[in-house]
Amino acid sequence: MRQEQFRQELRLIVAPVAAALLLSTIGCSAPNREELPSGGVVLDLSHQSGEKRTSDALYFDLDDIGLADTQSGEQPTAKVEAQSDHARALDSYGVLATIELQGDDVVFVDQSPTGMSDDLKEWFQESVESHGPIIDTALRSGSLDAIHIGVEKDFDKDQYESDDGDKQALVHGFFEDATNTAVVNFTPNNPKTLDSATTDQLILHEVIHSLFKNSSISAFNNNAIPKNTLQDFVSACTNLRTVVANNFNESSYQFAEPVHTLALIDLDPIMKERFGKVALAMAEGTAVNPNYPYVTTGDNDLDECYFPSLGHIGLQIATEQGLSLQSSENTAQLLSLASAEQYYNIEDKMIEFLKEDTLYKALTESTYLDGEFDRMGHPYEGIDELAASTLNILVSFPTAYAENIRALDNDEQDAIIDMTRLLIDETVRTNPELKEFFVEREARLLNAIRQ
């Protein structure tokens, strides 16, 4: 993009991850422009996805689109014109732009208070169009009604940490099942730039959630899971988690001392005993039992696709050793203020280990973003997140994905390839319009791995 046009002093800039969690793809023929809604531009969704684009980074100043000037770290407030028809306010965020189906066309509608600049609008259009077939299919099949690009009202809702240790509120992205809406909201903080790679695939991640929810194994779906489908995924998830559990247990001694400290400073006697046992298991390399049903949040949740949190490990060990389960419901809430900080510090280190030292590294989006953002992707948190991240990476970074798989041990390669193929098969089964698209990418991936 034309970055030189945005080199004026920036008082507020939205971070790249914000942009990233967002956009994906689209494609259509151009209709009569007079029929378009105000601010609407028809998107060309004929584009296929590939490696990351080479566009320059783009500065995004919220003041340019009619939002009040704020200092870094302050919640944005809309100017008077932001209360007009252009800025639809929802319960938790304000919409700046919408991607939706208008008749036979997929349209980008600028709803910002004073209108986006041509360069900024082009930036978002390109990001959406870069993965056209997927977004086009999601919108036309009815699994996705709209993509909202917005501004978060609750500034403290999502905090991410950059590699340099600075706390940054970057973005809040989610798929809203009740309204079939993929939402990516910017939040203001330290000056950052929009990056094309993160912008493209952050939208894609949320859109893939809408596609995968059609599967009976999705937590969004309450349909009965066919027996063969369930068996296949239970087997694949168990194999994947077992490999990761073995890696984790071999290195879990590094968490033993901080967990022991947590047990010493905790004020709840049940938690004190429980984390004392966890610390011992960490030191012995026996903390994670890959066959334990860690998560039971719904009938359709595949427990085997979750890797346990510190709290889940504590519950597992308490159950296996016959300890009191009286305080097992909300572990974190039972901790003192001092131990709560210690608890979350340990969890952060555990997540860092999963993303850097296990096969989850190949399944986490941040791996493919030059290390700029260490919180993009969390495939260890269930089948839906595993599917969204895996398919996103397969589509956005096929060559790098194959290289990362080739670098794994044989058992890790088998586990990740089996899971990837199952996710492709299930997505194609529930979205047959994408069969050719994903079959081609599966063949390309397998050929690259065998080279």
Q: What was the pLDDT predicted at 69?
A: 46
Residues 238 and 160 placed together within one structural domain of the fold: no
**pLDDT beyond 50 at 359:** yes
383 lies in a domain?
A: yes
Are 395 and 207 in contact by the 8 Å Cβ rule? The answer is: no
Q: Give the DSSP H/E element, type plus range, for residue 101.
A: strand 93-102
Residues 335 and 234 placed together within one structural domain of the fold: yes
218 lies in a domain?
A: no
pTM of the model: 0.81
- Mean pLDDT (whole number) for 68-81: 41
**pLDDT beyond 50 at 262:** yes
196-212 vs 383-396: helix crossing angle, rounded to 10: 130
16 lies in a domain?
A: yes
343 lies in a domain?
A: yes
- Mean pLDDT (whole number) for 75-86: 36
State the pLDDT confidence band at 235, using cuts at 50, 70 and 90: very high
Question: What is the overall mean pLDDT for the chain?
Answer: 76
Q: What was the pLDDT predicted at 152?
A: 64
- Provide the 8-state DSSP code for 172: E
**pLDDT beyond 80 at 21:** no
222 lies in a domain?
A: no
221 lies in a domain?
A: no
Residues 171 and 306 placed together within one structural domain of the fold: no
Residues 267 and 184 placed together within one structural domain of the fold: no
pLDDT tens track for 318-353: 988 988 877 544 554 555 667 788 888 999 999 999
Residues 44 and 171 placed together within one structural domain of the fold: yes
Residues 258 and 168 placed together within one structural domain of the fold: no
Residue where a domain stops, chosen among 184, 211, 238: 211
- Rounded-to-integer distance, Cα 387 and Cα 38, Å: 36
Residues 256 and 364 placed together within one structural domain of the fold: yes
State the residue range of the domain holding 336: 227-450
Residue where a domain stops, chosen among 148, 182, 211: 211
Please give the tally of structural domains in the chain. 2
Structure tokens at 121: 């609008």
Residues 392 and 417 placed together within one structural domain of the fold: yes
**Comparison of pLDDT for 361 and 30, the residue scoring more:** 361
216 lies in a domain?
A: no
Residues 102 and 197 placed together within one structural domain of the fold: yes
Residues 338 and 427 placed together within one structural domain of the fold: yes
Surface-to-core class of residue 79, CB atoms within 10 Å of its CB (0-12 exposed, 13-18 middle, 19+ buried): middle
Q: What was the pLDDT predicted at 81?
A: 31
Residues 169 and 270 placed together within one structural domain of the fold: no
Residue where a domain stops, chosen among 211, 240, 265: 211
219 lies in a domain?
A: no
Residues 180 and 326 placed together within one structural domain of the fold: no
